[in-house]
Amino acid sequence: MSDNKLYTRKFDFFYGAFHALKNINIDIQTNRVTALIGPSGCGKSTFLRSLNRMNDIIPGICVNGEVVLDGKDIYERNVDVVDLRRRVGMVFQKSNPFPKSIFENVAYGLRINGERNRSVISRRVEESLKDAAIWEEVKDRLGESAMDLSGGQQQRLCIARALAVKPEIILMDEPASALDPIATQKIEELIFELKKNYTIVIVTHNMQQAARVSDYTAFFYLGELIEFGETDQIFTKPGLKKTEDYVTGRFG
Amino acid sequence: MSDNKLYTRKFDFFYGAFHALKNINIDIQTNRVTALIGPSGCGKSTFLRSLNRMNDIIPGICVNGEVVLDGKDIYERNVDVVDLRRRVGMVFQKSNPFPKSIFENVAYGLRINGERNRSVISRRVEESLKDAAIWEEVKDRLGESAMDLSGGQQQRLCIARALAVKPEIILMDEPASALDPIATQKIEELIFELKKNYTIVIVTHNMQQAARVSDYTAFFYLGELIEFGETDQIFTKPGLKKTEDYVTGRFG
Amino acid sequence: MQLLSKITRTVKFRRLKEKVIESFFFINGSFAVIVLVGIFSLLLIEGFPALQEIGFKEFFLSSNWNPTSPVREAYGILAMVVSTLMVTLGALIIAVPLGIACAAYLADVAGPRTREIVKPVIEILAGIPSVVVGFIGIIVVGPLLSRLFGTSHGLNALNGSLLLAVMALPTIVSISEDAIISVPREFKNASLALGATRWQTLIRVTLPSASSGIIASVMLGMGRAIGETMTVLMATGNAPALPSSFLESVRTMTATIAIELGETVQGGIHYRSLFVIGFVLFIMTFFVNLISDVILEKYQKVNR
Amino acid sequence: MKIRKRNVQQWAGFFILRLAALVIVFILVFILYDIISKGHRVISWEFLLEKPRRGMTEGGIWPAIVGTFWVSLVTIVFSVPIGMFTAIYLNEYARQGRIVRLIRLAIRNLSGVPSIVYGLFGFALFTLYLNLGLSIISTGMTLGLLTLPWTITASEEALKTVPMSYREGALALGATKWQTIRSNVLPYAVPGMLTGTILGLARAAGETAPILFTGVAFFWPILPKFPVNLTQQFMALPYHLFIMSTQHHEIVKVRPLAYGTALVLIVLIIFMNTVAVWIRYRFRKKYKRA
Amino acid sequence: MERHFHEQLQELKNRLLEMGARVEKSIDLAIESLVRRDSPEAEKVIQADDIINQFEIEIDDRCLKLLALQQPMAGDLRFITSAMKINNDLERMGDHAVNIAERAVTLNSRPSLKPITELPKMAAIAVSMVRESLNCFVNGDAEKARELCKKDDEVDGYDDRIFHELLTYMTRDKGNVARALDLLMISKNLERIADLSTNIAEEVIFIYKAKTIKHHLNSSDLDDVRSRS
Amino acid sequence: MERHFHEQLQELKNRLLEMGARVEKSIDLAIESLVRRDSPEAEKVIQADDIINQFEIEIDDRCLKLLALQQPMAGDLRFITSAMKINNDLERMGDHAVNIAERAVTLNSRPSLKPITELPKMAAIAVSMVRESLNCFVNGDAEKARELCKKDDEVDGYDDRIFHELLTYMTRDKGNVARALDLLMISKNLERIADLSTNIAEEVIFIYKAKTIKHHLNSSDLDDVRSRS
Ligand SMILES: Nc1ncnc2c1ncn2[C@@H]1O[C@H](COP(=O)(O)OP(=O)(O)OP(=O)(O)O)[C@@H](O)[C@H]1O
Ligand SMILES: Nc1ncnc2c1ncn2[C@@H]1O[C@H](COP(=O)(O)OP(=O)(O)OP(=O)(O)O)[C@@H](O)[C@H]1O
Ligand SMILES: [Mg+2]
Ligand SMILES: [Mg+2]
Ligand SMILES: O=P([O-])([O-])[O-]
């Protein structure tokens, strides 16, 4: 048992017969950034998407063990997935703004939650855009299509969209991997700001990025959680040979 | 004037009215790796593709100045583009093996050049696969489809394919950006090996990668060549403030 | 507490609503299956008694079709099966090279301007109703053929093939063109970067990569030709005999049904035998489409 | 030397390809030219708006136009909703499994079934078993079945062009499935669905074989009045053309009328195609950056 | 763009400055305890060394983390590696201060050999060098750092004079030898502190001018950089 | 997977070893010139320092480049930062050797004070510490490095004894003072060399055990690591 907001115990995940995650025990610290690293196909994305049950979309999956959010296993039968996803927001690898106006993108989550009050909506939109550090860039063009923004701006817009419904946890699957270094840096800085108010879990291919943005790092390999610990520990003095080999590039 | 195999002088490039490259003077050192870095849209790819006239495919382009290969301007009228591209090979960002067998992929370049002799072809194929450090992994399955290889293997196969026609210069446009860190490392090591026999120009988004693989680095910004020099110089003590700001991430 | 129960209520309501919506769509989705099964069983039910009466052997192996003969009714469909295949084959011989060449031209050679002109042309050609094509066959192609070959009229298998070729061309061109255009740009770039000419790239890389799509387009065109009714009805002369050359008049399976169903007695053996022909057509096109389907699926897998 | 040879090879190859395209363009131009040049002479308000007279050697084609219109209307009403809903089921709700495979198999086969077979089926089912007789409604429903696979396929294509990321984005924000579909899928798919539907309808409007036995009449000058008269027989443009070109007793005399009918039919179909293409064009332009 | 990383660099700078201040204070105190013959003061210096050592460990760790986590380049990289060296230099100055304090305790326990006049002057210069070199480091003032290197000569001059003076004392009276030796060692310690400040100044020049001037004895930039003790 | 980078690390190791060998040789030579009263030998040591300084610059540069170009992590990173420190330590040992050589020249120019017996023994231990600490570094032998740290005590013992002996000489005869002082300084230099070797050993432990043992005076791992002079 743990006092953490979110933790997993003996968590297993199967794609049909393929055992994609094996006995994962991890504690996600509140108001910290946890990075998931590991070679391609080790199950990072699968794990991330297990945390808000986005994997449910995929047919033939099967889970075992617990993922506990606020003391409640999210895989229990009576859990409302829709509500869960509202509490555990997600940002995707490729920015995916809806082809609506900037304003409507951010307002979307509020509207589907039944918020009708105009002034409430526009206040939340402004707040979210500010939190996502994109307000200054778009405040004069909220009515324009979100598709006209640059890649980095789109990604921050998607973050704003996720923030608008006030999630407690934000999951990010390689949020900067499609961006150029400058846009990437902006996203990294944003993550650093966001952790003041949110708990963040981020998957990244880029070890350096994990090193830069996270407080805790989890190293996955072949579906197993090899090592989990403070980021500076993992990158300066990892506890296990496998981790050391991976971070120093002696792997594979 | 210069004694280098490949250099440009006062090179300008236009997409229609858009001035994409401005007065580029660069000397590509023989048997060295030259990396092109710079923020997105600065013209790195455009420049690279100018070196083997792959830009010719795009309608409405216009060039000025010289790109000199072995003392001859490749943009002169009587230059045969097809022949030029054989001498200046290219590897693309997304690995693009043909949907043929592994063997046929590498043999392709030889066949289109009219090589019919089976034993010559199979010798060249083996050599190229060895040079591209993928021979061991595929030697028992040369007849299988190249599409079944992993991303990193595909990329090395594409390199082997480019090597088969014995180019003098190899251009690579972000050859590892779609790969995971381990495959990326293999490509980087391969580049290091290849420079013994080839002259390599590589575009990369990833500054660290440029630092690791190249001997010379060219920093582009807004279509201009800002600084060009030895890689360790550029990354430890760049000559210009702009370069320093870019490599230390104080940019934009 | 009250709030909590309200939340549970809304959650329950939401789930119920979602379930209802999904079921509604599912019911619609099942309709296609019902229709197909309906067609299959109806053809079988209506046709089977006739087959029993006539006998398999005569029905499939005799080429004598004379249901209205006052002497002895004959129900052999061999002649029309052969006619159907022959006309179809002729059509493919004409349409396949032309169609693929045109597709390659559009996808790889033509400038955007040309493509903008030719693509709508193909679409319009696809839209021309079969009666209109048949009409042209009677009025223009027929006389032309009779003059060319010195026959009394030009309503023969060749005419049918020509017209069917026109009918099949749009299918072949547009699906092949799709296949060729969806060959990833990267393949072409790779080939060009290796010093291949555009022609070499087209022949050695692009077309082979698109081959399954192209083959599928041919199969689909073939299915279309086999099932085509009005053009062949109007342009092939309607002679229910085993043809020996392309210059003879023929009558295909589809044409037979079209001509004769109106004159039959419902429930009679003639009526039922036409349903059997329909059934055979159904099966033939089923297999042709199945093959093209398998090929297409493979091709989609490769290009993913 | 070698280089020149390769250039010649390329030139010759491209020449052949260009020729093929030219041939196809020529075929269409020829057909259109023939029909327009000979058909336009008989076109008049009288031809369009009058009933045929004197054993159809004079007068117009108004009943055929009206008949085609009503049949098409029934076709739409019958096939479009089912088609779209099926597509939504398949693309949005269905999980890969036996049932879905079965449905897809059925759809693919339906699209390959020859139109004459639909005619047989419609005849047996609607006119005989369901006792709808030879009527507009039987015919419309037959054509509805014929167009169903096209509508489904076109709708599914349209749904597929909506990026997965729109759905994931909405779901991840806590939208329900139906909310996601309604707000983030359908708006972007409807124009595409419309395009496909209209294209299918244009093809259906030109079909002859399936309607031969379900109610089309050689000569039926009584115009149907909605809704009571959907059970009556009717005339249709393609069938009229068929009659005028093959079955008429004074075939040479009515040839100009046949040309006129062909012209009207073609114009109608081209018009529908143009509308569909226009919608697609606007749709693409609007969401191109997506 | 301001980066979180740059804040961390700033923090590193501040920590180094703080450490520098402590080191200065230790040196001052040690000399004072000698002049005022106040041994408890010297004890404080000895105790304070623990804190300075903690500083060193912390700063070293900080640098290592920055290197591992931020992949610094160019100026930032030079800054961090130099910080590691400066850190080392400061810690050693701290050790020298302790040595001085220890000698002071020994000396204070015995009668005064002579009035101590030169050593405080020398110490003042050395301490000012420490302070100034760190200021140069903070303000990125390579010019001033260059000048600072020349000050080292002054300190060396004091060292020489003190050495000769003490030699006289020793040769004059055997009883003086041990105490003179202690004073001599203190002078040597101060001289080393000045040397280490010079090292810091050199690092500053390295960071901001990207030039290695150490050992370039015949470089015109700085003719008088001495090889270290 | 073997990486080009790892070759470069190996090369860095080799360069450090080479530098270490030169430093050892300088120390040996300096002591020999003292024992054999052979000033030209001492001159050689002084000249050789230039090369050692060149080594230092080169190795430092190498490390900086590796840090900038290869983004080392974990063990590799610790290796490189430690290499920078070891490099610094070696260079300072070189300087100490020069100091010894300079004193030797002075001493050689005057009559011998006494037969030199203890210093060579002390030097032998110091040199062996240099060699062994570098060996530990090369072989990644943290155990041995830990033992090595204890050897420093022996050297300190020599230093103490020599100091007292020389003190006796000085107090005995004023004329001895200057020469005894020189010898005393040589002993101090050797003691520093041993200290620096201890530093290297500590770095080795840091690299391979990822533990900072410096200053952890009451750590059970190593109770006797001394704070630096
Ligand atoms: N829908 C799926 N069906 C079956 N197997 C899957 C599916 N998605 C992923 N897998 C498999 O599960 C494993 C883990 O996949 P996952 O996407 O989580 O890896 P990852 O660590 O995110 O890799 P990457 O860094 O490449 O994104 C892989 O072996 C993958 O092949
Ligand atoms: N085909 C084209 N037509 C018009 N402009 C183009 C075209 N291709 C590129 N450009 C423009 O030229 C500039 C340079 O493009 P280029 O692709 O060379 O950039 P890059 O440095 O490679 O960027 P990236 O890192 O994003 O690949 C950009 O501003 C781009 O918008
Ligand atoms: Mg992933
Ligand atoms: Mg580019
Ligand atoms: O398309 P048809 O009506 O001729 O089958």
CA distance C228 to D209: 9
pLDDT band at residue A12 under the 50/70/90 scheme: very high
> Which atom of ligand 1 is found nearest the CA of A39?
25
Residue C288: the pLDDT is 87
- pLDDT averaged over every residue in chain E: 81
| Residue E226 CB neighbour total at 10 angstroms | 14
pLDDT band at residue C155 under the 50/70/90 scheme: confident
pLDDT at residue C147 above 80? yes
- Are the C-beta atoms of residues F215 and F192 closer than 8 Å to each other? no
Nearest CA-CA partner of A146 in A100, A92, A91: A100
| Residue C99 CB neighbour total at 10 angstroms | 29
Average pLDDT over residues D67-74: 86
A206 touches chain E (CB under 8 A): no
Percent of chain C with pLDDT over 90: 16
Query: Chain C residue closest to D124 (CA)?
Result: C42
Query: For residue F5, which residues of chain B lie inside 8 Å, CB to CB?
Result: 212
Taking only the tens place, the pLDDT of each residue in C202-212 is: 988 899 888 88
What is the 3-state secondary structure of chain B? CCCCCEEEEEEEEEECCEEEEEEEEEEECCCCEEEEECCCCCCHHHHHHHCCCHHHHCCCEEEEEEEEECCEECCCCCCCHHHHHHHEEEECCCCCCCCCEHHHHHHHHHHHCCCCCHHHHHHHHHHHHHHCCCHHHHCCCCCCEHHHCCHHHHHHHHHHHHHHCCCCEEEEECCCCCCCHHHHHHHHHHHHHHCCCCEEEEECCCHHHHHHHCCEEEEEECCEEEEEEEHHHHHHCCCCHHHHHHHCCCCC
pLDDT at residue A2 above 70? no
Q: Which residue has the higher pLDDT, C163 or F205?
A: C163
- Are the C-beta atoms of residues E73 and E54 closer than 8 Å to each other? no
Report the CATH number that the domain containing residue C169 is assigned in CATH: 1.10.3720.10
- Are the C-beta atoms of residues C298 and C212 closer than 8 Å to each other? yes
pLDDT band at residue C126 under the 50/70/90 scheme: confident
CA distance F86 to F133: 10
Q: Which residue has the higher pLDDT, C297 or A173?
A: A173
pLDDT band at residue A1 under the 50/70/90 scheme: very low
A40 lines ligand 1 (CB under 6 A): yes
Query: For residue D10, which residues of chain C lie inside 8 Å, CB to CB?
Result: 197-200
* Nearest CA, atom 4, ligand 2: B15
Residue F219: the pLDDT is 37
Instruction: Retrieve residue C50's tokens.
Output: 């006739």
Q: Test B180 with A205 for CB contact under 8 angstroms.
A: yes
Distance in angstroms between the alpha carbons of the first and the last residue of chain F: 44
- Are the C-beta atoms of residues D96 and D222 closer than 8 Å to each other? no
CA F203 to chain centre: 13
CA distance D206 to D228: 25
Average pLDDT over residues C180-185: 86
Residues of C with CB under 8 A from a CB of A: 11, 14-15
Query: Chain C residue closest to B94 (CA)?
Result: C186
Query: For residue E3, which residues of chain B lie inside 8 Å, CB to CB?
Result: 249-250
- pLDDT averaged over every residue in chain D: 83
H-type helices in chain E, by residue range?
4-35, 39-70, 74-108, 118-139, 142-172, 177-209
pLDDT band at residue E219 under the 50/70/90 scheme: very low
CA distance E50 to D223: 109
Question: Which range has highest mean pLDDT (C22-26, E153-157, F74-78)?
Answer: C22-26
Q: Test A165 with D289 for CB contact under 8 angstroms.
A: no
∠ CA(B101), CA(B107), CA(B108), 5° rounding? 90
pLDDT band at residue E221 under the 50/70/90 scheme: very low
Average pLDDT over residues E194-218: 71
Torsion sign over Cα C135, C141, C146, C149:
negative
Taking only the tens place, the pLDDT of each residue in F112-130 is: 777 778 888 888 888 888 8
- Are the C-beta atoms of residues B164 and B120 closer than 8 Å to each other? no
Taking only the tens place, the pLDDT of each residue in A64-88 is: 999 999 888 999 888 888 888 889 9
Residue D225: the pLDDT is 61
Residue C103: the pLDDT is 93
Average pLDDT over residues A17-45: 91
Long-range contacts of B238-245 (CB under 8 A, 24+ apart): B238/E74, B243/B219, B243/E74, B244/E74, B244/E75
Give me the domains of chain E, ranges plus CATH numbers.
Answer: 2-228 (1.20.58.220)
pLDDT band at residue A216 under the 50/70/90 scheme: very high
E98 touches chain F (CB under 8 A): yes
Residue F141: the pLDDT is 82
Pairing between strand B72-73 and B61-69? antiparallel
Q: Test A212 with E69 for CB contact under 8 angstroms.
A: yes
pLDDT band at residue F15 under the 50/70/90 scheme: very high
The alpha carbon of residue A247 is apart from the nearest alpha carbon of chain E, in Å, by 10
pLDDT at residue A29 above 80? yes
Interface of F with A in 27-56 (CB under 8 A): none
Residue B252: the pLDDT is 58
Taking only the tens place, the pLDDT of each residue in C29-55 is: 888 889 989 999 988 888 888 888 888
The alpha carbon of residue D176 is apart from the nearest alpha carbon of chain A, in Å, by 6
Instruction: Retrieve residue D272's tokens.
Output: 């529908």
pLDDT band at residue E2 under the 50/70/90 scheme: low
Q: Containing domain of residue C189, as a range?
A: 80-302
Residue A50: the pLDDT is 93
Residue C194: the pLDDT is 83
Considering the domain boundaries, does residue C100 fall inside one?
A: yes
pLDDT at residue E56 above 50? yes
Cis bond upstream, residue D227 (ω within 30): yes
CA distance A158 to A94: 10
A218 lines ligand 1 (CB under 6 A): no
Single-letter amino acid, residue A167: P
Residue D2: the pLDDT is 60
Residue D227: the pLDDT is 56
The alpha carbon of residue D160 is apart from the nearest alpha carbon of chain A, in Å, by 16
Residue C299: the pLDDT is 63
pLDDT band at residue D54 under the 50/70/90 scheme: low
Average pLDDT over residues E208-228: 44
Architecture of domain D45-289: Orthogonal Bundle (1.10)
Considering the domain boundaries, does residue C15 fall inside one?
A: no
Q: Domain residue spans in chain D? A: 45-289
CA distance A59 to A64: 16
**How big is chain C, counted in residues?**
304
pLDDT at residue B27 above 90? yes
Task: Determine the residue among B40, B155, B251 to mutate to test chain A binding: the one whose Cβ has the most chain A Cβ atoms within 10 Å.
Answer: B40
> Which atom of ligand 5 is found nearest the CA of C228?
5
CA distance A81 to A54: 9
Percent of chain B with pLDDT over 90: 33
Average pLDDT over residues B54-67: 87
A222 lines ligand 1 (CB under 6 A): no
Average pLDDT over residues E69-77: 83
To which residue do tokens 């193909």 refer?
A: C122
Residue B32: the pLDDT is 92
Considering the domain boundaries, does residue C61 fall inside one?
A: no
Taking only the tens place, the pLDDT of each residue in D21-37 is: 999 999 999 999 999 99
Structurally, chain C folds into a number of domains equal to: 1
Taking only the tens place, the pLDDT of each residue in A107-158 is: 998 888 888 889 999 999 998 998 888 898 898 989 888 888 888 889 889 9
**Strand ranges (E), C7-155:** 65-66, 74-75
Residue B1: the pLDDT is 45
| Residue D205 CB neighbour total at 10 angstroms | 23
Query: For residue B85, which residues of chain C lie inside 8 Å, CB to CB?
Result: 192-195
Residue E150: the pLDDT is 82
CA distance C16 to C10: 10
pLDDT band at residue A35 under the 50/70/90 scheme: very high
Instruction: Give the distance (Å) from ligand 2 centre to CA of residue B172.
Output: 16
Considering the domain boundaries, does residue C23 fall inside one?
A: no
Residue A245: the pLDDT is 85
- pLDDT averaged over every residue in chain F: 81
Residue F220: the pLDDT is 37
Least confident interval from C290-294, D177-181, F84-88, F210-214: F210-214
Q: Which residue has the higher pLDDT, D53 or B63?
A: B63
pLDDT at residue C97 above 90? yes
Average pLDDT over residues D260-282: 87
A81 touches chain C (CB under 8 A): no
pTM over 0.95: no
Nearest CA-CA partner of F27 in F126, F106, F110: F126
pLDDT at residue D55 above 70? no
Percent of chain E with pLDDT over 90: 9
Q: Which of D10, D90, D273 sits opposite C197 (nearest CB)?
A: D10
Least confident interval from A54-63, B91-100, F219-228: F219-228
Q: Which residue has the higher pLDDT, B67 or A151?
A: B67
Residue D224: the pLDDT is 61
Chain A and chain E share a number of CB contacts under 8 A equal to 27
pLDDT at residue F227 above 50? no
E65 touches chain A (CB under 8 A): yes
**For a substitution probing ligand 5, which of C229, C233, C281 has the most ligand atoms within 8 Å of its CB?**
C229
**For a substitution probing ligand 2, which of B12, B24, B42 has the most ligand atoms within 8 Å of its CB?**
B42
User: Helix (H, G, I), strand (E, B), or coil: what is residue D247?
Assistant: helix
ipTM for this model:
0.75
List Cβ neighbours of D139 (8 Å cut-off, separation of 6 or more). Answer: D71, D74, D122, D210, D211, D214, D215, D216, D234, D236
Residue A225: the pLDDT is 94
Average pLDDT over residues A43-71: 89
Least confident interval from C3-17, C153-167, D191-205, E46-60: C3-17
* Nearest CA, atom 1, ligand 2: B58
Chain A and chain D share a number of CB contacts under 8 A equal to 71
Long-range contacts of D123-127 (CB under 8 A, 24+ apart): D123/C261, D123/D213, D123/D214, D124/C42, D124/C46, D124/C275, D125/C38, D125/C42, D126/D214, D127/D213, D127/D214, D127/D215
Distance in angstroms between the alpha carbons of the first and the last residue of chain A: 36
Residue D287: the pLDDT is 59
